[in-house]
A and B are shown apart, each in its own frame.
Chain A
Amino acid sequence: MNRSKSHLIRIITISLVVVGLLVLAFGGFMTPLFSAGMTPFVSAQRWLSTRYMAVYDFVTAPRDVASLRARNIELESEVSQLQTQIIELQQQISETSILYALLDFARANPEHEYVAASVIGRDPSPFMQYVLIDKGSNDGIQRGMPVVTQQGLVGRVDAVTAGAARVMLITDQNSTVNVRLQTTQTEAILHGSQTSDLTVENIPQDVAVVEGDLVLTSSLGGTYPANIFVGQIQVIHQAQGQLFQTASMQPVVSFDALQAVLIITNFEPVETQLLIPTAIP
């Protein structure tokens, strides 16, 4: 009887201790004790794991280097492909932005019909300021049609084949454009030169030309449509005793970096040669 009673008391005591310990543990009171007890085990585990991984790496290293090298080559190849793609996309973005700009220009000037063309080369002779474009008579291009960009006047079509055309730039020494100074509404003539410098000539002496004046095409001569932006007056040359004053003009188009142009297809230039009287035989 006494034995079974003491056995019961022992069970109850152990249960109370266990319940007490659990309550203390759930209450967070045992954390310092656990920490103090676990730290040596964790340190030992870390040390063991580190040594094991060192040995593992040492044993398996050759295989990994080979696979890493293969992977590296694979990734390098992928990187070069992606770089190529990036360059292509950047080029496409550049072309697209140019085409968007041309489209904006065409929308802003709906009175004309346009054909867009890429510049595929320049005249092989350094004496001639011409560019070659990739649209020709198959696309409705004809000799004499004006050529513009979103910035302003480029020139006019000089020769046409089925799939390409040659455009005379306004900077060419044989180019002549009838222009109008915007502020004074004065008519003048723009000449190109061997050095690609542009000169506005035949400005009357009594006209007050100011640096920065905008120069637009006039419809005189019938070679170009009116009101296409050409450039800005840069330097005025006024000499006493001369009938006219002249001025250097800064073109609005960058002719060295021409990539795409618009050809105005619904403008028919007037053939002025027919109006020049010739000697009757």
Chain B
Amino acid sequence: MKPYSTSIILFLSVLLAVMLQIAVFSRLMLLRGTADIVLLVLVAWNIQEDGPNMWPWTILAGSLTAFASALPFYAPLPGYLLVTGIARLTQRRIWQSPLLAMLLVTLVGTLVYHLLSISILFLQGGSMQFEQAWSIVTLPSLLLNLLLAIPVYAIVHNIQDQMRPIHQQT
């Protein structure tokens, strides 16, 4: 597939993920936690074998999320960049087991992203209580993310397979 086609698919997948996050997944709450489909899509693309360079798309996803969210803009963007960094590191080390990598990065990435958000809100002087945020927001969000991690990985892997030239497809 030509590079610009890959870019279009990545752009659309990031855009669709952000739109789905705002319109659908933010409303599906478990206690006060919600799944983060943007994070899952970024992780799934990052851990693909011979996957595309996701740094620019991470910046796009972070910027779009920061634009829509009331969180300070310096929370979502660095958060997603950290998640992409963790995913790239993990992909190089456990590339033989992508599903395990997906679950592991989802687990660590969600915790890192939430910890960053909580810290920034706390430093801003909000009435954030760490224990409450952990038990009512972070843990339910983590559970939802882990539940959705495998389906998201399967979809992204399928798209990645379609994007490869025919002679490279397995």
Instruction: Tell me, yes or no, whether B53 is within 8 Å of chain A by CB.
Output: no
Interface pair B128/A194, CB less than 8 Å apart: yes
Chain B residues near A128 (CB-CB < 8 A): 69-71
> Chain A nearest CB: distance from B127 CB in Å?
5
CA distance A175 to B38 in the complex (A): 27
> Chain B nearest CB: distance from A182 CB in Å?
26
Binds A, one of B16-24, B44-52, B89-97: B16-24
> Chain A nearest CB: distance from B125 CB in Å?
9
Interface 0/1 of B28-59, CB less than 8 Å to A: 01001110101000000000000000000000
A195-B22 contact, Cβ under 8 Å, with A123-B69, A125-B117, A126-B33 = no
Chain B residues near A195 (CB-CB < 8 A): 32, 132, 136
A127-B117 contact, Cβ under 8 Å, with A122-B27, A132-B68, A191-B127 = yes
Interface pair B26/A124, CB less than 8 Å apart: yes
Instruction: Tell me, yes or no, whether A212 is within 8 Å of chain B by CB.
Output: no
Closest B residue to A130 by CB, please name it. Answer: B70
Task: Tell me the A84-140 residues at the B interface (CB within 8 Å).
Answer: 120-128, 130, 132
Chain B residues near A166 (CB-CB < 8 A): 68, 70
Q: Pick the contact of A124 from B22, B121, B129, B132 — CB < 8 Å?
A: B22
Q: Pick the contact of A126 from B18, B128, B129, B141 — CB < 8 Å?
A: B141
Instruction: Tell me, yes or no, whether B13 is within 8 Å of chain A by CB.
Output: no
Chain B residues near A123 (CB-CB < 8 A): 22, 26, 68-71
Instruction: Tell me, yes or no, whether A184 is within 8 Å of chain B by CB.
Output: no
Interface pair A256/B71, CB less than 8 Å apart: no
> Chain B nearest CB: distance from A137 CB in Å?
16
Interface pair B126/A174, CB less than 8 Å apart: yes
Instruction: Tell me, yes or no, whether B137 is within 8 Å of chain A by CB.
Output: yes
> Chain A nearest CB: distance from B140 CB in Å?
8
User: What is the total number of residues of chain B having a CB less than 8 Å from a CB of chain A?
Assistant: 31
Interface pair A122/B22, CB less than 8 Å apart: yes
Interface 0/1 of B121-153, CB less than 8 Å to A: 100001111001100110001000000000000
Closest B residue to A193 by CB, please name it. Answer: B127
Instruction: Tell me, yes or no, whether A158 is within 8 Å of chain B by CB.
Output: yes
CA distance A146 to B54 in the complex (A): 41
Interface 0/1 of A164-194, CB less than 8 Å to B: 0010100011100000000000000001011
CA distance A9 to B124 in the complex (A): 131
Instruction: Tell me, yes or no, whether A159 is within 8 Å of chain B by CB.
Output: yes
Q: Pick the contact of B118 from A127, A159, A174, A196 — CB < 8 Å?
A: A127
Interface pair B137/A127, CB less than 8 Å apart: yes
Interface pair A194/B136, CB less than 8 Å apart: yes
Interface pair B133/A256, CB less than 8 Å apart: no
Interface pair B137/A126, CB less than 8 Å apart: yes
Interface pair A124/B137, CB less than 8 Å apart: no
CA distance A141 to B144 in the complex (A): 35
Instruction: Tell me, yes or no, whether B106 is within 8 Å of chain A by CB.
Output: no
Interface pair A125/B32, CB less than 8 Å apart: no
Chain A residues near B121 (CB-CB < 8 A): 127, 173
Interface pair B70/A158, CB less than 8 Å apart: yes
Chain A residues near B126 (CB-CB < 8 A): 173-174
Chain B residues near A130 (CB-CB < 8 A): 69-70
CA distance A189 to B159 in the complex (A): 52
Q: Pick the contact of B137 from A168, A174, A191, A194 — CB < 8 Å?
A: A194
Binding site for A on B (CB under 8 A): 18, 21-23, 26-27, 29, 32-34, 36, 38, 65, 68-71, 75-76, 117-118, 121, 126-129, 132-133, 136-137, 141
Binding site for B on A (CB under 8 A): 120-128, 130, 132, 158-159, 166, 168, 172-174, 191, 193-196, 256
Closest 7 CB pairs of A and B: A121-B22, A122-B26, A128-B70, A126-B34, A130-B70, A121-B23, A124-B21
22 A-B pairs (CB sep. < 8 Å) = A120-B23, A121-B26, A121-B68, A123-B69, A123-B70, A124-B21, A124-B69, A125-B71, A126-B32, A126-B33, A126-B141, A127-B128, A128-B71, A159-B70, A166-B68, A174-B126, A191-B127, A194-B127, A194-B132, A194-B136, A194-B137, A256-B29
